Amino acid sequence: MENITIGYVLHILRAILFGVAVGYSMSFFFRYFKPITENLLGGKRINVDLWWWSGIVISVILGILVMLILL
């Protein structure tokens, strides 16, 4: 009975850590993609706060989604 519980806890922990890793990597993607996006928009400046918080929200949502897929 203990092996099933330990295995289940490890499975959940692996899913959570993978979700955090995906979210963290996506946050770096959004950080370095901003200049490319501004160039594609014809040089228009994007508000830094809007870009930062939208990147964080998308990263967290994708991280949670990946975690739930692994469960």
**pLDDT tens-place string over residues 56-70:** 788 788 878 887 887
d(CA 28, CA 12): 25
> pTM of this prediction?
0.62
What's the rounded mean pLDDT across residues 8-34? 81
Structure tokens at 39: 């160039």
Q: Other C-beta atoms within 10 Å of 22: how many? A: 17
C-beta of residue 58 within 8 angstroms of C-beta of residue 25: no
- Give residue limits of the domains in the chain: 2-70
What does the angle CA 48 – CA 36 – CA 42 come to, to the nearest 5 degrees?
85
pLDDT of residue 3: 64
Total residues found in the chain within this entry: 71
